[in-house]
A = this chain, B = another copy of it.
Amino acid sequence: MKTSRAAVLTQYEAPLELKEFPLPQAIEPGAALVKVKLAGICGTDVHLWHGQLPIPLPVILGHETVGVIEEMGDGLTHDWTGAPLSVGDRIGWSSSINCNECYYCRTKPQPTRCLKRKAYGISYDCSVAPHLLGGYADYIYLRPGTAIFKIPEELPTEAVVGAGCALVTSLHGAERISVQMGDTVVIQGSGPVGLASLAVAKASGAATIVMLGGPPHRLELAKRFGADVCIDISTTSIEERKTRVLDLSGGFGVDVVLECVGIPEAVVEGVELCRDGGRYLVLGHYGNAGSVAFNPHVITRKQLTVAGSWGFEPRHTNAALKFLARNREQFPFEQLVAKQFPLERAFEALQATASWTTAKSAIAP
């Protein structure tokens, strides 16, 4: 009987444990067994490790994964776009599966808010068969209904993992608050979501993009991705940043501010950077980081539009792969994967992402 190793989170804030699980003996119709090539370590994984979101334990983390098809169940013949699929194909997939039946799948369509949504690397107890439902492993099992995408040959695995769930999140966010050609833009945060939002804003024709972030190596990446102005938040005050942004925008503030930080204070700072009639996207608050003193008067007085965006749908994964293929040279997302670790050093990889010493780490089993 064949087995697969996996790095398992059995207890919050404890080291990941390397365990062995049996490979499924039969692949269900529509399912697939996939050999993991590279599993990205997302900032969310760090939050999960700290126990900041309600998940089952034990769990195999890893929701940003690229692999190669090892075996396919009956009826699985094409990827989500209709392209033919074969054993040996290199693929990515949407990390969540929707129920397609609930209030948010049907009546008021907000598919990312599906009431029964389950995500690889997050929602599955790995003590229950088929066990292998996270990316930090030799193999991952894709359940029927997974939106699978064949990765174009010219696109490096590192670019797909580097873009990870950040790019799809940004593409979804851009549907809620879009950057229009000619807009002036502030991006709060130079982590993966901030860099991806920068790429999306740049590709949408933003006239000027100001990145508020850090540390310096991330700001250099922001420059490389096309930021016009980068401001290091560790060496500037809120007031200094406001002065800089107003100076750059005729004293009025910018058209669009994209929040990609996840810190409540950023929202208070950010709405002040919008011009009257401006738009503000709360994109970074996937986690619940608590409250902040906020004055709603600013929304009325400045006539702001503020929107939130949660997760993403398969069509965003499709769009992200096309985006990466189309803009490879302009936005080298592979540079976000600073270091790769073997599976047995998965915990070290997680710690690297946690410590912010690197842009992002990944596991190459």
Contacts and interface: CB of A to CB of B under 8 A. Distances in A.
Contacts of A182: 319, 322-323, 326
Given A297-B289, A299-B306, A277 B110 contact: yes
Interface string A74-111: 00000011100000000000000000111110111110
Given A113-B276, A176-B305, A300-B309, A318 B107 contact: yes
A303 interface: yes
A204 B181 contact: yes
Q: How many chain copies does the complex carry?
A: 4
A205 B204 contact: yes
Interface residues of A, number: 71
- Select the residue from A200, A291, A326 with max chain B CB neighbours within 10 A: A291
A276 B104 contact: yes
A77 to B, nearest CB: 11
Interface in A288-342: 288-310, 314-315, 318-319, 322-323, 326
- Select the residue from A103, A200, A277, A292 with max chain B CB neighbours within 10 A: A277
B200 A181 contact: yes
Contacts of A295: 264, 288, 290-292
A29 to B, nearest CB: 15
